[in-house]
Amino acid sequence: MNLLTADKISKNYTEKKLLQEVSLGINEGDKIGIIGINGTGKSTLLKLLAGMENPDEGTVTKGNHVRTEYLAQNPEFEDNKTILENVTRHLRHASEGWNVEGEAKVMLGKLGITDLEMLPSQMSGGQRKRAALVRTLLTPADILILDEPTNHLDNEMAEWLEGFLQSFRGAFIMITHDRYFLDKVTNKIVEIDKGKLYTYETNYTGFLQLKLEREEMALATERKKKALYRQDLEWMMRGARARSTKQKAHIQRFEELRDREKIEIDGKVEITTLSSRLGKKTIEINNISKSYGDKLLIKDFTYIFLKQDRIGIVGGNGAGKSTLLKMIVGEEDYDNGNIEIGPTVQIGYFSQECESMNPSWKVIDYIRDVAEYVETEDGSVSAAQMLERFLFTGAMQHAPIEKLSGGERRRLYLLKILMAAPNVLILDEPTNDLDIQTLRILEDYLDHFPGIVITVSHDRYFLDRVVKRIFAFQGSGVVRQFEGGFTDYWNIIQKENTKEKQDVSLDKPRKKYEKVREKKLKFTYKEEREYETIDEDIANLEEEIEKFENEILVNSRDFVKLQELTNQKEELERQLEEKMDRWVYLNNLAEKIEASKG
């Protein structure tokens, strides 16, 4: 059943055409992810669907009684109300028989917000976004319209949101740059490309293949049209006269080919390696500690960075990840210990907040403020040429910064960092607000960057793609080191957690099991057979899980295979948990039977 239809809608932003007569339908069960380069109109499309803006042309029609709920990229709150009041205020009228405050408290806790009396002015940008996400998810809706719901979510929060959306009975359409997230929760991808929409009935991995096929077909068609146009042009140049219907049709075809809309090759963010020489001494961290009040973030942490280190930093929100970066660049003091910076170290710091930009400045002046020319592997390159490589065309270069989208500003900010030719890149949440295409090119750039890369990120795909070592903030000042990417780290954590649960649940009951099994038990026939084999069943499941864990380690870079193996392992873990519960039940029953005999 169709819930909402956008029919031939167009939208312009000043002189820029964002959407040109595009159509989109949202049906029951649709789980849609929107993909496109920053500035192509992704957020604008969501606002049109949510009724926050009106199209210049075309119509958006919503079914009778269809309810939509919209999560804005920059949500708003009532400043004089607490965060709990802001989240639940507009739901109180619908709360009969529903403990809305209780559910809100649980969901806010899942997303790391425990002080429910905070006012919006006391909250960070990440806390505000997560609180708005709870408000959106709590509101009864048939369609969720979500603009960057995964920003500011750590791994556990992202997994919780994945579960919520997978079980959500309505439809949703969202913008996110988290590629693992797109793979897990979507069944349809909508791509915005040069003002047009292309729909793919698949998740992100399937989209990559289908997009490649679409582009190859379009280019093949364009090559045929070019060849035909050249033939017709030669025919016209020979002075053909329109003396017959056939000749008139030929001339008409020539004019159509001449005036056709040409295929444009996608622009790509090209980043040639820019860096300065890095000497022997890099960055040395010696026994640093840091607390905020009673909260210990880092305790006696030591590490000497090696040339070409690729470090990913993970942990919960507020754990101290960004604080560590700020201490390295000198923006935060540490309580004790010291950090030594080598004399040749030139740090490029891409902060989470993004520096403030003068909105009246021209784009090119913002880059020229760093350097007019830079030396690259390809020789000297001007600021204007570097902007071209970053998809800022001639017209955009001379436009004021205020006309750029949030994502375009992040891309411009990234270019400014790289223009200074650093040999140590410190990236705090670089994947926030950067489109997937830019992320892929940034990842390729980092592959060839000859210096040190240190990044805080919640983007699991980005970490798997870029880093070779993980620093995990585990609370109470503990920063633990793991080799490999995010998946390698997460597999170890999951294995440790599973072992802890097994130790707790099995240690004590197994002693009872060995004692009780010596006697004949009066179960039902089915229970007795189950009791005789359950120990072996548990051992077999544990062995199978271990095999999958080994396969996951071997295939940690094959993301499609990795997802398949992870799903199979999770199913086995679910079966093991059921068996363990059943094992405890049967042993308790055995004890009762034995006691009744006495």
Distance between CA atoms of residues 495 and 552, nearest Å: 12
526 by Cβ neighbours in 10 Å (0-12 / 13-18 / 19+) ranks as: exposed
Distance between CA atoms of residues 167 and 91, nearest Å: 21
Length of the chain: 598
Torsion sign, CA atoms 576, 579, 584, 590: negative
For residue 94, pLDDT over 60 is answered with no
pLDDT at 136: 94
Q: Could you write out the three-class secondary structure of 490-539?
A: HHHHHHHHHHHHHHHHHHHHHHHHHHHCCCCCCCCHHHHHHHHHHHHHHH
Q: What does the DSSP 8-state code read for residue 224?
A: H
pLDDT digits 0-9 by tens, 29-78: 999 999 998 888 999 999 999 999 999 999 999 988 999 999 998 899 99
- Percent of the chain past pLDDT 90, that is, above it, reads 42
For residue 517, pLDDT over 70 is answered with no
Distance between CA atoms of residues 130 and 135, nearest Å: 9
pLDDT at 28: 94
The two structure tokens encoding residue 77: 């709150």
Burial 214-230 (b: 16+ CB within 10 A, else e): eeeeeeeeeeeeeeebe
Q: Which of residues 532 and 358 earns the better pLDDT score?
A: 358
Distance between CA atoms of residues 278 and 225, nearest Å: 52
370 by Cβ neighbours in 10 Å (0-12 / 13-18 / 19+) ranks as: middle
SS3 169: coil
Cα–Cα separations (whole angstroms), residue 155 to 178, 447, 487, 489, 573: 11, 24, 11, 12, 20
The two structure tokens encoding residue 224: 């045929």
577: enclosing H helix or E strand: helix 559-597
The two structure tokens encoding residue 334: 């540490």
> Terminus-to-terminus CA distance in the chain, angstroms?
65
| Average pLDDT value for residue range 338-367 | 91
Instruction: Please name which of 326, 321, 334, 329 lies closest in space to residue 288, comparing C-alpha atoms.
Output: 334
Distance between CA atoms of residues 568 and 172, nearest Å: 27
Distance between CA atoms of residues 180 and 156, nearest Å: 13
Amino acid type, 339: I
Cα–Cα separations (whole angstroms), residue 143 to 23, 32, 93, 152: 17, 11, 20, 23
Cα–Cα separations (whole angstroms), residue 48 to 60, 172, 186, 510: 7, 15, 21, 61
Distance between CA atoms of residues 395 and 360, nearest Å: 15
For residue 515, pLDDT over 50 is answered with no
Q: For residue 126, name the pLDDT band (cuts at 50, 70, 90).
A: confident
Q: Where are the beta strands (DSSP E) in 444-488?
A: 452-456, 469-475, 478-483
Q: For residue 526, name the pLDDT band (cuts at 50, 70, 90).
A: confident
Q: How does the average pLDDT of the chain come out, rounded? A: 83
Amino acid type, 580: M
Pairing of strands 469-475, 478-483: antiparallel
Q: For residue 513, name the pLDDT band (cuts at 50, 70, 90).
A: very low
pLDDT at 316: 84
Instruction: Please name which of 38, 70, 37, 31 lies closest in space to residue 51, comparing C-alpha atoms.
Output: 70
For residue 403, pLDDT over 70 is answered with yes
Distance between CA atoms of residues 287 and 339, nearest Å: 9
Whether the full predicted model's pTM is greater than 0.75, yes or no, is: no
pLDDT at 84: 92
Q: Which of residues 386 and 237 earns the better pLDDT score?
A: 386
| Average pLDDT value for residue range 245-250 | 55
Give yes or no for a contact between 342 and 279, defined as CB atoms under 8 angstroms apart: yes
Question: Which of 83-97, 174-188, 243-257, 537-551 is modeled with the greatest confidence?
Answer: 174-188
Distance between CA atoms of residues 64 and 41, nearest Å: 27
SS3 450: coil
pLDDT at 560: 64
Lowest-pLDDT choice from 58-72, 312-326, 579-593: 579-593
Distance between CA atoms of residues 564 and 566, nearest Å: 6
Instruction: Please name which of 530, 510, 521, 511 lies closest in space to residue 589, comparing C-alpha atoms.
Output: 521
Neighbouring C-alpha atoms within 13 Å toward the C-beta of 56: 14
pLDDT at 519: 43
Lowest-pLDDT choice from 35-49, 76-90, 167-181, 564-578: 564-578
Lowest-pLDDT choice from 135-144, 302-311, 398-407, 514-523: 514-523
pLDDT digits 0-9 by tens, 263-301: 555 555 556 666 678 888 999 999 999 999 889 999 999
| Average pLDDT value for residue range 476-494 | 92
